[in-house]
Each structure stands twice: as C-alpha cells, then as structure tokens.
Chain A
Amino acid sequence: MELTGAQIVVQSLKDEGVDTVFGYPGGAALHIYDAFYAQKEVRHILVRHEQGATHAADGYARATGKPGVVLVTSGPGVTNTITGIATAYMDSIPMVILTAQVPTSLIGDDAFQEVDTFGITRPCVKHNYLVRDVKDLATTIKKAFFIANSGRPGPVVVDIPKDVTANKTEYLYPKTVQIRSYAPVKKGHSKQISRAAKLLLLAKRPVIYSGGGIILSGASGELTALVDLLGYPCTNTLMGLGGLASDHPQFLGMLGMHGTYEANMAMYECDVMLAVGARFDDRVTGDLKKFSPHARIIHIDIDPASIGKNVRVEIPIVGDASVVLEQLVSAIRGSADQPDAESLGKWWEQIKQWQSRDSLGFEMSTEVIKPQFVVQKLHEITGGDAFVTSDVGQHQMWAAQYYGFSNPRRWINSGGLGTMGFGLPAAIGVQLAHPEATVACVTGEASIMMCIQELSTCKQYDLPLKIVNLNNRYMGMVRQWQEFFYDRRYSHSYMDSLPDFVELAASFGHVGVKIEDPADVEDALREAIATTDKLVFLDFITDQTENVYPMIAAGAGHNQMVLKPSADGSKPPERELA
C-alpha cells in the first residue's frame, strides 16, 4: 500500500507497538499531526513546552523499560528538546525523538524555523538520522528503535523534512534490522566469568557496587540472587536505587558524595569490588587517587568504553548485567570454593560498627518541618513502592537517602546531567504508563518552577500526581555549597518573589495545600495519597538551614566524609577542591 511519509510515521509507531507519544505541533510537523488526527491507536499527549515532552517520554521509559517517544516541530521545537535529550543520554534512557524539518529544498537556506538538528543533537544522542527520501523512512524508524533500546540504551533522533512527510511510497515496516557496525554483546566471556567467580570467593573484605545498569537491564533479581548467595554487602549508586531492595539486610545504602558512611567506608576498605552496571562517576568516586586503594576490581558493563575509563580494572566483563550476573551465579554455585566465612564475619562486624554511626540520623523538630521527615513519612505511607520522581538538589538527595525503594524502576531522577525541571514532566510520563499507581514528585520550589507549565498538561489528562514540594525558599544545594565553600555568601541562591503555590495549583485546576507545622505532615500526605482523582500540590514549608549529610567534598576521598555536625562534632568541609 502507498502511504505518505506522515502516514508512514504514524503506522511505523503502531507497528513498533508504541502506545504513547509526547509532542507539540508546529509548521514543519503539520503533515504528521494530520496523520495523527485520523487514528486512535497511538495516544498523543500534548505538553506545554517541548522540554516537557522529552522529560515525560523519559519518565515513561524509565518506569516501563519501553522507549519513550517524542514528536516536535523544526527549529525552536528541536532546540527546546535538547536539555531533555541530553538528560536521557547521560542516564542511558531509550528514547526516539522524531523531529520535523524544513523541506529538503530549503535545508541550509536559513529557512523559517530551520536549525541544523543533525548537528545540534549529535553530541547528546546515541545516534541520529536525517531522512532525505521517503523510501528510507520506515527502515530508519525501525533502526532508531533498535539502536535506542539495545546495548547501552540511549536517545536516537530522526529528523524528517516536511516534503518527505508529504511524499508517497510503498509502506513496509521491517520486522528486524541488521546494522553491520552495531552488534552489542549480551553474554559475558566465560573465561572472564570464571576468573571473576574465583576472585570473588577469595575476597576477605568484598563489596558489590551496582548502578543504573541493573535497572536498565532488569537485573535486580539476578543481583539479589548473587548478593544472597555470597552474603556480601551491596551498595547502590543514585541511578541504581531499587536494584536491591532497601530493606535487604546486606544493603549498605547509597554510596558517593551523599552516600552513607558505611557504604563509602566499605568502598574505601574493600579488597575485592564487583562493579556492575555502574560507571565510576566522579560523584561516586571522589578523588580517584584516593579511590578504593586496596581493591581488586571486577567490572561488568554493556559498554566497553565504560570499563577502564576512570579506574583501572583487573577483570573486565562486557555484557548485559542480567545475563552476566546469571552466568556469575552459576559459576559460583558450581565452584568448589566457598566464601571465606571467618573474614566475612569480621568484615560485617566492621560494617556494623560503621552503621552504628547512623549517618542518616537527623534531629526532629516540633517547630519547623524537616525535609527528611517528609520523605520518611512518604515512604511509610506508600510502603516504599510508589513511583518517586525528583528534580535536582537537596530534595533529590533526601529522596534518595530516605525514601527506601523496594523495587526497581520506582526511582526516577536525572542523575547524570542533573536537570532541574525534570521531576514534574517525568511524573507525567510515569503516571500515563501506570494510571493506577501512586506517583509522587519530590521537588523543591526552585526546581518545580523550571517546568511549572506542565501543571496544565496534568489537568488536561487528569493525572493525579502528588507533588511534594520541599519549600525552603533557597536553591538548597547551591546555598549549602555557598555555606561550606564560599563563607556563607549566598549569592543569588535565595528564591525571592515565589508564587503562592496553593493558589497556583488552584488556578491550574488542581488542589493545593500549604503545610507549615510538623504535626500536620503525616495527615497531609495521607490525605493526598488517598486522593486518587486529583493532582495534589503539597507545599511543605521546610527548615531553611538543613544541609544534606553525609558529604564528601568534591575531590576528597571516601574516607574523608563529613557527617552532620551534631553527630561527631566534625565541621563542614572547608574547601572545595573541584
């Protein structure tokens, strides 16, 4: 059957099994939008700003494991997506972004709403295409989905000029595609697996350090099996939270800049480290010269370029986390050796001592709401199984530290790029994917303002999100760094002239509640969670002076943590090294 390019776009999405597209129309995209008008299978969600479309698609992808799909027009439609594309790229999130382009005859002429989409997106995509011939359109879309959702996932852009969407050709959506230069490895090399099993069983002070790759690969069952089998302690990165249930007795909490004392000390003192689906990011390692000085490292990753990039690795294993972990579990089961019970006992004693410092303890107050308390209560009320999105800053760290995730794909935040404005639109994507689930956006008053317009989208599609705004009238993390490293010169980190969030929510057709008394926190949260038909915006007025602890200053080592001042009398870090 002959179809126009626009019809091919829509039909390809159907054949790919896409149920939801996040987009915003414009001139060059009008043929495609016209093709959307005539059908009902693919739901189009109209956002209020293209950045919102990318974050919503990203949230949808993180919550489901299916690629998020975005459709925007040329020029400003594309430039507005860049932050969202870069966010997805840094966190390896599968997305396909369909961008309209000016007609091929006008490309390069500085035409109205023309931008070099191929060039401007190239550094922040896994791959991108400009389709110049309608005959290539269906195959290119197929390739885009294949690349986005295989190997190390990532965003793929398909740029489609307007004339291509008008031209007709015979439609055939390929069932599979072969790309001769692209064949991601899934299975780990068997020799490396047995070396890794042997080294793991030799360990006296082992640690398992796992990241977002566990979530992306769906390897949380395999990870838990390995952790149970060995009895070794395990820490998760910010991106890996939920990979091992937070109430697992061997879970040490998050590691890194705001990780727990026990997780970071275990990383520093370990003799064998198994890193899986993690990339030794600077927020995790601190000063590389002081990083895990005694460790022999096994690194499992699907991306060979992630192995040996920052840290020297003794046993590299390229492959998909779930497959490799399964191989590793059976290699260990089949081995005659056992974990060294005596050393392991001593190691756990040491870890328990570290845990006794209670590095996440905080002082409650009856006067002012403590942000950590709000997150703890949210965990309690939702049983640790809500979908929690966040923006970036102090509230993000508190959500990561205190929510305690029981399952993967529940914690949805911008870890790599650190994008303020991510939380609300991401929650839209999550709620659309899971209409019955509780979706909470833990945010701050500065972050939420960056994509606040999406409250309108929430109204249009009746999305009953729970917005937990930890409002301290500061860009809290900026203020914290200024307190520690800039002698309390709070340069431009105070949020002046904030809106009345209760009235703001109401004007968008939602329910807004302001909470100032710690005694009201629990009831407000319970009532909001019980409200399943409306978006509730909870504006918690929180302690302005609260800081995120523990903290490793940029450039310090894992053994140079600063705990909260009241716990051990230690002072905040004195200098910023990086």
Chain B
Amino acid sequence: MRRILSLLVENEPGALSRVAGLFSARGYNIESLTVAPTEDESLSRMTIVTRGSDEVIEQITKQLNKLIDVVRLLDLTEGRHIERELLLLKVRAQGADREEIKRLVDIFRGRIIDVDEETYTIELTGPGDKLNAFIAALPSAEVYEVVRSGVSGIARGDRALRL
C-alpha cells in the first residue's frame, strides 16, 4: 500500500540523515521525501511517500517515532487528505508544437513560466497521477528536463499535524 507520512522533526542538522538512514538501514522504500522549515523555526516538516504491507508500515511509523528528533507523526493516508506535487518541465516548443503544447498546459491548468524561441518552461501542480498524465501527453522526444518536488500533503477538515 502507498502511504503518505507527515512528520514534524526537530530543525537540527542531522535530522534528515537520521530519517533517510533509517529507511536504508531497514530496507524500507522511499518513493519521495520532502522537507522544509515550518512557521515554528525549531521544527521542520517532512513528507514521506512509502510503500509496504500494513505490518511494514506499522514498523516504519514505530521506528520513525523512536527517533529522538521526530516530534510528531501522522499517516495522512489514514484519513481524508490532499496531496500536491510541483512539476517544473522544459520542453521543445517550435512551429505547430508551440500552440499544441500551450493548449495542453491550459487543459491541465498549468502555467508557462518561461519562454524562448525554442522552448517552454512549464509549471504544474497536482497529485502525482495528474503530473504523470501531463508528461505522457507531451511528445516525449521533445521533453528536455523534468523536475518534480515530491509529494507534500495535508489532512482535510480539522485534522492537523501540530504540537
């Protein structure tokens, strides 16, 4: 099962290496990991997308909670939640393609954020499968570069991960 784990961790040097090291040492898989400071400067928020059986996920959450630097943990996938990912993509856009790609960007509600004679640089946010669908819709040979942020997530309603 795919799971999205949200963590509040101490904003200390080494906190990221403890989390990443735990996953590699115990053979858990990480699909994506994002981390950034929060409104409380002593805390960072980490979002980890991982896969595993229920038993494995239980172990992952227990092992993460055991790390001294992990302050709070929430499995977003246990409840209603929103996940978003940012895609930055550079694609060749010449001749007839220029119009076609612009139309695609509009359909997916993305934005062209930089332009030159040969290329478009595109910004798109959404759940991962939307980004996948957009990339698949582009003429693949024309894509120069794909940059994805990994997933960020937040619970719906009044459920919140905070101190």
Q: Which residues of B contact A147 (CB under 8 A)?
A: 68
- Name B163's closest neighbour in chain A (CB-CB): A180
Please determine whether B68 and A303 come into contact, CB atoms closer than 8 angstroms.
no
Which residue of the partner chain, among B14, B25, B55, B68, contacts A181 with CB atoms under 8 Å? B68
Q: Which residues of A contact B55 (CB under 8 A)?
A: 308
Please determine whether B17 and A122 come into contact, CB atoms closer than 8 angstroms.
yes
Q: What 1/0 flags go to B13-44 for Cβ under 8 Å of A?
A: 11001100100010000000000000000000
Please determine whether A303 and B17 come into contact, CB atoms closer than 8 angstroms.
no
A residues 107-155 in Cβ contact with B at 8 Å: 118-119, 122-123, 126-128, 130, 147
Please determine whether B58 and A123 come into contact, CB atoms closer than 8 angstroms.
no
What is the minimal beta-carbon distance from A159 to any residue of chain B, in angstroms? 11
Please determine whether B69 and A122 come into contact, CB atoms closer than 8 angstroms.
no
Q: Give bound CA distance, A272 to B18, whole Å.
A: 38
Which residue of the partner chain, among A122, A126, A130, A305, contacts B63 with CB atoms under 8 Å? A305
Q: Which residues of B contact A180 (CB under 8 A)?
A: 71, 163
Please determine whether B25 and A123 come into contact, CB atoms closer than 8 angstroms.
yes
Between A123, A180, A181, A303, the greatest number of chain B beta carbons within 10 A of the residue's beta carbon is seen for A181
Please determine whether A119 and B71 come into contact, CB atoms closer than 8 angstroms.
no
Between A119, A147, A305, the greatest number of chain B beta carbons within 10 A of the residue's beta carbon is seen for A305
Which residue of the partner chain, among A118, A130, A308, contacts B58 with CB atoms under 8 Å? A308
Q: Give bound CA distance, A305 to B70, whole Å.
A: 14
What is the minimal beta-carbon distance from B36 to any residue of chain A, in angstroms? 19
Q: Which residues of B contact A182 (CB under 8 A)?
A: 68
Q: How large is the interface on A (under 10, 10 to 19, 20 to 34, 35 or more residues)?
A: 10 to 19
What is the minimal beta-carbon distance from A179 to any residue of chain B, in angstroms? 7
Determine if B62 is an interface residue (Cβ-Cβ < 8 Å): yes
Q: Give bound CA distance, A119 to B20, whole Å.
A: 12
Q: Give bound CA distance, A130 to B55, whole Å.
A: 34
Please determine whether A179 and B59 come into contact, CB atoms closer than 8 angstroms.
no
Determine if B65 is an interface residue (Cβ-Cβ < 8 Å): yes
Q: Which residues of B contact A179 (CB under 8 A)?
A: 68
Determine if A304 is an interface residue (Cβ-Cβ < 8 Å): yes
Q: How large is the interface on B (under 10, 10 to 19, 20 to 34, 35 or more residues)?
A: 20 to 34
B residues 97-118 in Cβ contact with A at 8 Å: none
Please determine whether B68 and A122 come into contact, CB atoms closer than 8 angstroms.
no
Determine if A309 is an interface residue (Cβ-Cβ < 8 Å): yes
What is the minimal beta-carbon distance from B148 to any residue of chain A, in angstroms? 28
Between B62, B68, B72, the greatest number of chain A beta carbons within 10 A of the residue's beta carbon is seen for B68
Determine if B80 is an interface residue (Cβ-Cβ < 8 Å): no
Which residue of the partner chain, among B10, B17, B66, B163, contacts A305 with CB atoms under 8 Å? B66
- Name A127's closest neighbour in chain B (CB-CB): B68
Q: Which residues of B contact A303 (CB under 8 A)?
A: 66
Q: Give bound CA distance, A181 to B59, whole Å.
A: 18
- Name A308's closest neighbour in chain B (CB-CB): B58
Q: Which residues of B contact A126 (CB under 8 A)?
A: 68
Q: Which residues of B contact A119 (CB under 8 A)?
A: 17
Check A304/B14 contact, CB under 8 A, given A123-B25, A180-B71, A309-B59. no
10 nearest CB pairs, A to B? A305-B62, A181-B71, A127-B68, A304-B62, A305-B63, A182-B68, A305-B66, A123-B25, A122-B21, A123-B21
Which A residues are within 8 Å of any B CB, using their own CB? 118-119, 122-123, 126-128, 130, 147, 179-182, 303-305, 308-309
Which B residues are within 8 Å of any A CB, using their own CB? 10, 13-14, 17-18, 21, 25, 55, 58-59, 62-63, 65-66, 68-72, 163
A-B contact pairs, 8 of them (CB 8 A): A128-B14, A130-B13, A130-B14, A180-B71, A181-B71, A182-B68, A304-B62, A305-B66
